[in-house]
Amino acid sequence: MASEKTAQAFSDSVPLSIPESSTSQFIFLIALGIAVVHLLTKSRYGFHRDELQFLSDARHLDWGFVSYPPFTPFIERISLGLFGLSLMGLRLFSVIAQCAAIVITGFMARELGAGLWAQATAALGVAVSPLPMFEGTEFQYTTFDYLWWVLIAYLMIRLLKTENPRWCLPIGAVIGVGLMTKYSIIFYIAGIVVGLILTPARRFIATRWFWFGAGVALLVCLPNLIWQIRHDFVSLHFLRYIHARDVGEGRAQGFWRAQFTLCANRYAAPLWIAGLFGFAFNRRYRAIAWMYVVPLIIFWASKGRGYYTAAAYPMLMAMGAVVIARAVAPLPRFWRAGAQGAYAVALLAWGVYVATIILPLASNGPLRARALDNNGDLREEIGWNELVKTIAQIRDSLPAQQQARAGIVVGNYGEQGAIEILGPAYHLPSPISGTNSAWYRRYPMPPPSILILVGHSREYVEKTFTSCQLVAHNTNPYGIHNEESDDHPDIFLCGAPRAPWPEFWKNYQSFG
């Protein structure tokens, strides 16, 4: 009985109407500030290996790919059409997605009854958190996945606030797009369903609009489902492989620590914790709490990586800002303003500190060294042009007759994308790759008889190919240590595979 009264009191402490004095101008200013920082720092290095894979797949559009659904390569194809092969043009879409998530978070706070400070604080909490900050630096499918989680949370708040079941239609549409972006959104959907079933919001399930929304979601993702059926659900095999690799390499360790240091700004912990309790103790919005708890438990129990839950934190920050604003409201104006200002400064200060690691703020000096020493993703943007140039030099060193019969065999999708995207400037042939969707594109006919191999060990090439010799090393002029320079730096010149090409190709398929 006492706990029930406590819950009701906490629920009543959260306003459900929008104050007339609230404004959105600071939300847009925060998003604009983040956009400017990103746009000023985006061209420090080159394409990330993941971006090279997206660019490759964008040139071979389909309703599905081995490692992800088709939405992200489709957006990349639009970028190529608008800007050509432009690093800034490509990453502009990531900046837009991150800024949209920031703005929507502020809008969520407004829908929950936030005034100016709470709206701006919720938006700032997202803007200066490590994971969403990173999502704006590169073109990744996780960037758009993050946006869809945030947008679904906003639409769910609208549904629960207005009690209008027609909001199920846009929720279903965004869920469908989310399924076309990243499959892990299924766990977020599980949170939505559990939240509806276990709270008074279950009444929406009985409406036709809920099922219309489910139908819209299915209709949007149906082409990819058909593609998966036709390809024997290859993405499921891929995901199992990647999960086993991550667990084996220890990438799933530190899950709970990541919730406080990676998914959200360290000083945003009071914000999202207050938000979780705010939703849990609020009868109207209790379903939102389950949208966080269910995927959190699933990812933890299944040994998922810590950042997988990051997109669930903006909705918590939105409610948390409202709860904290209400808690300090009785304070004298001077003390209230001082507390609110100090908290905003702490959020911003830690965000700036984190930005020195995540963002390439400087092209030289201590800031550059700090970022490259601590950010493995930045290091993966370096060396691709040098790799392509080295392979072109090897090809050009061959007699003209041999050049015509030469092919390039690569070991991972970064090398594949680099050769395919950057190679045309050197008149290189398309790469031969067995990684992910590239395996379905097979090898050229007739098959090349002279092969330049990159991304493989000496042991593998000598066992698999004929007449192999080491001809070069994969390095970069900056002395940066990354996967290419450390894990497989040797480049070989070989003859044809020892097995017939069809047999070789059958065994060459790989995930990565």
Which among 491, 459, 499, 487 is positioned nearest to 473, based on CA atoms?
491
**Mean pLDDT value across the chain:** 93
CA atoms of 275 and 114, how far apart (whole Å)? 12
Over range 432-439, report the average pLDDT.
97
For the chain, give me the number of helices (H) and strands (E)?
25, 4
pLDDT score for 478: 83
Q: Are 124 and 271 in contact (CB under 8 A)?
A: no
Structure tokens that stand for 86 in this block: 């432009």
pLDDT tier, 363 (very low <50, low <70, confident <90, very high otherwise): confident
Provide the terminal-to-terminal Cα distance of the chain, rounded to the nearest Å: 54
Q: What is the pLDDT of residues 307-338, one digit of tens each?
A: 999 999 999 999 999 999 999 999 999 999 99
Backbone torsions φ then ψ of 213, nearest 5 degrees: -60, -40
Helices in 250-285 by DSSP H: which ranges? 255-261, 269-280
Quickly tell me which residue has 């869920």 as its tokens: 175
Over range 46-75, report the average pLDDT.
96
pLDDT at 480 over 50: yes
pLDDT tier, 508 (very low <50, low <70, confident <90, very high otherwise): very high
CA atoms of 276 and 305, how far apart (whole Å)? 21
Backbone torsions φ then ψ of 47, nearest 5 degrees: -70, 145
Over range 255-281, report the average pLDDT.
97
pLDDT at 142 over 60: yes
For 305-322, letters b (16+ CB in 10 Å) and e give bbbbbbbbbbbbbbbbbb
Q: What is the pLDDT of residues 206-215, one digit of tens each?
A: 999 999 999 9
pTM of the model: 0.93
What ranges do the domains of the chain cover? 23-328, 384-508
Quickly tell me which residue has 């809008």 as its tokens: 107
pLDDT at 464 over 60: yes
CA atoms of 415 and 384, how far apart (whole Å)? 8
pLDDT score for 12: 39
Structure tokens that stand for 399 in this block: 């007699």
Helix (H) or strand (E) holding 85: none
CA atoms of 129 and 143, how far apart (whole Å)? 14
Which among 436, 433, 480 is positioned nearest to 453, based on CA atoms?
433
Q: Are 100 and 12 in contact (CB under 8 A)?
A: no
CA atoms of 124 and 264, how far apart (whole Å)? 11
Q: Are 330 and 142 in contact (CB under 8 A)?
A: no
Indicate the pairing of strand 450-454 with strand 406-410.
parallel
Over range 233-253, report the average pLDDT.
94
pLDDT at 4 over 80: no
- CA 413 → CA 52, 79, 325, 454, distances in Å? 8, 20, 48, 11
What's the DSSP call for residue 84?
S
pLDDT score for 23: 58
pLDDT score for 6: 40
Strand order, beta sheet including 406-410: 406-410, 450-454, 490-494, 469-473
Q: Are 282 and 315 in contact (CB under 8 A)?
A: no
Residue type, 386: E
CA atoms of 355 and 352, how far apart (whole Å)? 5
Over range 458-482, report the average pLDDT.
92
pLDDT exceeding 90 applies to what percent of the chain? 91
